Structure 1
Amino acid sequence: MLAEQRQKFILDQLVASGALAISELVGELGVSRETIRRDLNVLAARGLLILTHGGALSPERAEPDAQTRAAVNVEGKRAIGMRAAELVPDGASVILDYGTTTHAVAQALHGHRNLVVYTNDIAIALLLGRRNGNRVVMLGGELQDNEDATQGWDTIEQLSRYRADFAFVGTGGITADGQMSDFSRAAAELRSRMLLAAGVACVVADHTKFGRNAGVLVKHFDKAAWLISDRAPEPGLCAALAARGPALRIA
């Protein structure tokens, strides 16, 4: 198969699935990993796909920047934040993930007192720190390119030292079969660890995330006690979520 034929096959598969792994392409095309990597690099240079660790994403699967996301469904996210904050008493310890929906949770917690907050989001740290007797622990790590937040193995290692009462974790999408997904392995791994690091873990996702496969599955979604959203998903996804474990809490 010529390089042009392989590359057309790769693009056709991306249109169908949105995400591909190099190992899958090696098996389907019968060529070496190095050949597939060269093809992916050529397509990425033309802006036709986004390289990930071990594969590629369709450009439509890339996460928009924080400013763009902040303008989407503002009222829905505010309602999610208020619903989430109802769970948290004064004096609790809370893990807050980065993102626009978790920022809405932080805003709803603004009047709470004596919280211990663990976060990798700089804006959340500034919002809740130095007020009402709160303590804020900023999780260190590598600064993300398009977020005022950290992630990576250093962030995960620091998180492993703490155990919180609650965690509020964002997501890139909830797939049609009820799985939690994200746009990168780094984000997916950090969020999976956050779900394990709290007595009550909650995933916060507005309805625009329903039915979206962001490309990388997040482990331990079944450990979440709640999925908090602004609207109930369609019946098929409701049934899939019920099988996965988290209970729906609708704002």
Structure 2
Amino acid sequence: MLAEQRQKFILDQLAASGALAISELVSELDVSRETVRRDLNALAARGLLILTHGGALTPERAEPDTQTRAAVNAEGKRAIGVRAAELVPDGASLILDYGTTTHTVAQALHGHHNLLVYTNDITIAMLLGRRNGNRVVVLGGELQDNEDATHGWDTIEQLSRYHADFAFIGTGGITADGQMSDFSRSAAELRSRMLLAASVACVVADHTKFGRNAGVLVKHFEKAAYLISDMAPEPELAAALKERGPVLRIA
């Protein structure tokens, strides 16, 4: 590929996912890390992306809408959902965060019975509610602009009233030094509280989130029992995650 072709590919991928990791681009473009860095630097100089440690973000630092994100690595996310659902017995209580990966967890739980589900995702609530003896509590709050889900301090306050057996939590990215990150303070705060609100907290993130800094760090990642993904990260990130504490489970 010529530089112009690579850079167009990078911008197309960035438009679809909102953020990219250098490791991901090296694999997809079959070029060296130095070549990818040169392309990213050239695009950043034109104001077309924001450089981060280990990758790049769209200039808006905004998360793409649900439909756009759902199309990215759909097969990998489905595998994560199945792997996550294996942890949950019938009759368990669980917190399900909003997002395309947590939605696959809900889909994989469709045959479970007598669940008590706390969620801020309206689509997940409708998927699991009114079936198999399940009870669903929808966490109230402000409706998000690009999600069928609630967020904000009202959502956080209501969550504080509950404790569940399990929590399945999404993330905007996993930074190169093994930290959770998100696109807004509101999302980061809600997810940090979810990590504290379950006996077994699980972060679900497909491999496209590895090496991505979404801008706002999420506290309490060390409280997660598991990080469930579809592929193993690069050795440096794997070592950083091991240092943080969550056990990596590969779907």
- For the aligned pair, the TM-score class normalised by the smaller chain equals 0.7 to 0.9
What value does the CA root-mean-square deviation take over the aligned residues? 1.7
Q: Give 1:16 shift.
A: 4.0
Q: Of the two, which has the highest radius of gyration?
A: 1
How far, CA to CA, are the matches of 2:193 and 2:210 in structure 1? Answer: 22
CA offsets, 1:215-245, max 9 Å, x none?
Answer: 0000000000000000000000000000001
How far, CA to CA, are the matches of 1:103 and 1:130 in structure 2? Answer: 17
Aligned to 2:6: none
Unaligned runs of 5+ in 1: 1-10, 19-56
Is 1:140 matched with 2:143? Answer: no
The one-letter amino acid paired with 1:115 is L
How far, CA to CA, are the matches of 1:117 and 1:202 in structure 2? Answer: 15
The one-letter amino acid paired with 1:78 is R
Aligned to 1:224: 224
Is 1:242 matched with 2:227? Answer: no
Q: What SS does structure 1 have at the residue aligned with 2:137?
A: strand
Q: Give 1:62 shift.
A: 1.9
Percent identity, please. Answer: 85
The one-letter amino acid paired with 2:160 is S
Unaligned runs of 5+ in 2: 1-45
The one-letter amino acid paired with 1:101 is T
Q: What SS does structure 2 have at the residue aligned with 1:154?
A: helix
Query: What is the 5 A alignment of 1:164-175?
Result: 164-175=164-175
Higher relative contact order (CA 8 A, sep 6+): 2
Q: Give 1:84 shift.
A: 0.1
Which deviates the most, 57-66 or 183-192?
57-66
Runs ≥4 residues deviating over 2 A: 14-18
Q: Give 1:157 shift.
A: 0.4
Q: What SS does structure 2 have at the residue aligned with 1:82?
A: helix
Q: What SS does structure 2 have at the residue aligned with 1:148?
A: coil
How far, CA to CA, are the matches of 1:15 and 1:110 in structure 2? Answer: 39
Aligned to 1:102: 102
Q: What SS does structure 2 have at the residue aligned with 1:59?
A: coil
The one-letter amino acid paired with 1:119 is T
Query: What is the 5 A alignment of 1:167-246?
Result: 167-246=167-246
How far, CA to CA, are the matches of 1:164 and 1:245 in structure 2? Answer: 20
Q: Give 1:202 shift.
A: 0.2
TM-score scaled to structure 1, two decimals? 0.78
How far, CA to CA, are the matches of 2:191 and 2:128 in structure 1? Answer: 21
CA offsets, 1:13-47, max 9 Å, x none?
Answer: x84448xxxxxxxxxxxxxxxxxxxxxxxxxxxxx
TM-score scaled to structure 2, two decimals? 0.78
Q: Give 1:60 shift.
A: 5.9
Asked if structure 1 preserves the Cα contact closer than 8 Å seen for 2:50 and 2:59, the reply is: no
